[in-house]
A and B are shown apart, each in its own frame.
Chain A
Amino acid sequence: MISIKNLVKHYNNHIALDHINLNVGKGVILGLLGPNGAGKTTLVSILNGLIDFQEGEIEIFGLPLSQELKAIRQRSSFTPQSLALYDNLTVLENLRFFAGIQKIRGKALRHNVDYAVSAGRLHPLLDHKTGILSGGQKRRLNIAIGLLNNPELLYFDEPTAGIDPESRTSILETIRSFKNDGKTVIYTSHYMPEIEKICDQVAILDRGRIIRHGLLDAMLHEEKADSVVIELRHSHEAQLQALTRKHAMVKVIDAATMTIDGPDATQLGAILAALEAEQINIKQIRYGTTNLEALFIRLTSQGNCDV
């Protein structure tokens, strides 16, 4: 479906993508992860023909991107992170406009709009002005627009940014359902639990390079051998940061979660004692397992990436 060979992109002297090689098969949901500035958006923009690249070869649907961009775009769609909608048009007018500029007419127009409305659960909102919709409803419309050309390949750039959990769940279910239709999805997000929930494969980018690519389950399985995840009852960010200074193997995932890489019994005992001394209540300890956030933090060179 997607084949990228030795892709290089640089802006003046700054290398944004450094000899990227990546293959994505049909029907795969690939999570594209990376800290800010890793090159995720650049890669997705290149794949959509929005920006040029200097070296390398890209084939999508077996077609060379540089020569067959128009044909490739007709079979794919891109949903940007920002809400690329018209606030002064109704939901239906937005859908009809974006279908119209893609020359979708007649029966196909009705069919594709119905499909997008159904996938985005937009039925009750069709006559509402987009400007008055909630953040979650706008996100659903943003995604629905990307379905109007019935694409085989869909790119989503942070499609759930800034919305409530209910809308997020609904959007994730929708995207997951594309797999049943045989569609391929490239999904970039900072929310690791989302990636874990819907993606089959993960590619982690750091400083313009793909540092890990593979099946999500296999990657988590490889990591699980000697790590411990501790979840706390309440947020204790300051104390956890202090703990990382004392124990190098401790990594803070968020204010209530930490991981410990390969501790022996003495080290683990010392860390648990330190938590007890700080009167921090432990909710759960998981041995021999990890999650994507822990893996991501361990792999990427920046500890302060946006997660």
Chain B
Amino acid sequence: MFKAMLLKEFILLLRDKYALAALFIMPSIFILIMSIALKDTFSSDRALLSYTIIDLDNTAESAKLRTFLLSNGRLKEHKVLITNAAQQQEALNGKLHFIISIPKGFAQNLVTEQSASLLQLDVASDVKQEMLTLLQGELVMDIIRLRMEKLQKELAPFLPDVAQKLEAMKSNRDNLIQVRFNAMGKNKKPTSTQQSVPSWIVFGMFFVIIPMSTVFISERKQNTLMRMSAMNISVPVLFAGKLAPYIIINQIQVWLMIGVGIFLVPLFGGDALTLGNSISGLFMVSLGLSLAAIGTSILIAVTADTVEQATTIGGIINILMGAIGGVMVPKFYMSQSMQQLTNISPMSWGLEGFLDIFLRGQGAGAVITESLTLAGFGAGLLLAAGMILNAKMKRGI
């Protein structure tokens, strides 16, 4: 009986090119695009901020400040002629994030005890707070360097040892802090592939909602379910007959997407995905996710009246769960309250489980909670769907 159901679901799916695209091609393309698009996220040489300098001081110190900024890989200077407010506004509406104005008297005021501002910073309105903080930090550090150099020069004739020490301290700026990423080897960084693949695997697995609910509603509407019921197929058997093939389909999706991360992304210049330390943990999370996705699909298929309703509702639920669950916007970008909210999305549970395996180097033990929660969620939805379907069938709907 299961063999017949399994075969039927596979044949129906293989003959539905749109379902195949939604299940296998779309998530793979997502992984490819996102991994490549974000491949420089963890590179310290990637320019994040663009700026121009208006130097009204024209001194050796202001020139040095400019040199310091130029040597910073995170910053990119653009030569833009700005002589009036309109040009300034236009520049900040365009490609510039910041305009750094060095006023007359900058060099002179560098080591005075006056509390007046040394620089003027004009900021584009779409600049994020963390970008502003980053530039402010860079500028403060460069000003301190300039002050130290000036003090060093002034101290050199009187305290040569101190001046020498200050000179030596200047050179090891980049090595002051050693960064070590959790659960990663020395000098190893997380990659965009490692971070984005789990997200899109989770998202892709929930795409089963569309083909599953389409087939299920057609079966309901054409009375194929009723016919099966008259052939002694009970609702639990019917659901089991759906679960088995779609769990296999989900597993194929997972390994296809992992394959894309390992083999395809590097061909396009991205970092290759590494599997982590626990294949069993990976299976546990993906099985839990399968149950959650299939439970959601069947509940939608049972409650919706038409295929159009199911695909619309399914698509919206998928996107909402992805948005809330940290698939589309990583959790750490979210506010505290939003981060709390992610806990209601099963996609977030699955994503945390996958990140434990792929990114944090954890084993199967670490993902038991996530896997069981997902499986429980799926089982709960299946139970609800079963009750609704039974009631509908008894009423002849």
Contacts and interface: CB of A to CB of B under 8 A. Distances in A.
Interface residues of B, number: 27
B227 interface: yes
Contact of B231 (A81, A93, A98): A98
Nearest to A45: B396
Given A89-B11, A96-B4, A101-B5, A50 B230 contact: yes
B396 A50 contact: yes
A50 B393 contact: yes
B1 A103 contact: yes
A70 interface: yes
Interface string B224-247: 101111111100000001000000
A96 B393 CA distance: 25
Contact of B232 (A74, A88, A96): A74
B167 interface: no
B394 interface: yes
Among B1, B7, B16, B230, the one with the most A-chain Cβ atoms within 10 Å of its Cβ is B230
A88 B226 contact: no
B231 A101 contact: yes
Interface size class of chain A, counting residues whose CB lies under 8 Å from the partner chain: 20 to 34
Given A51-B394, A101-B1, A102-B231, A93 B11 contact: yes
Contacts of A84: 222-224, 226-227
A194 B266 CA distance: 69
B204 to A, nearest CB: 23
Among A42, A45, A84, the one with the most B-chain Cβ atoms within 10 Å of its Cβ is A84
B382 to A, nearest CB: 19
Interface in B29-71: none
A86 B224 contact: yes
A77 B230 contact: yes
Contacts of A78: 227, 230
Contacts of B394: 50-52
24 contacts: A41-B396, A42-B396, A45-B396, A50-B226, A50-B230, A51-B393, A52-B394, A73-B231, A78-B227, A80-B223, A82-B221, A82-B223, A83-B222, A84-B223, A84-B226, A85-B222, A88-B15, A89-B8, A93-B8, A97-B7, A99-B4, A101-B1, A101-B5, A102-B231
Interface of A: 11, 41-42, 45, 48-52, 70, 73-74, 77-78, 80-86, 88-89, 93, 96-103, 145, 149
Given A88-B16, A99-B4, 16 more contacts: A48-B230, A50-B226, A73-B231, A78-B230, A81-B223, A84-B226, A85-B224, A89-B11, A97-B4, A98-B227, A98-B231, A100-B1, A100-B3, A100-B5, A101-B231, A101-B241
The list of the 5 closest CB pairs from A to B, nearest first, reads: A100-B4, A84-B227, A78-B230, A84-B224, A80-B223
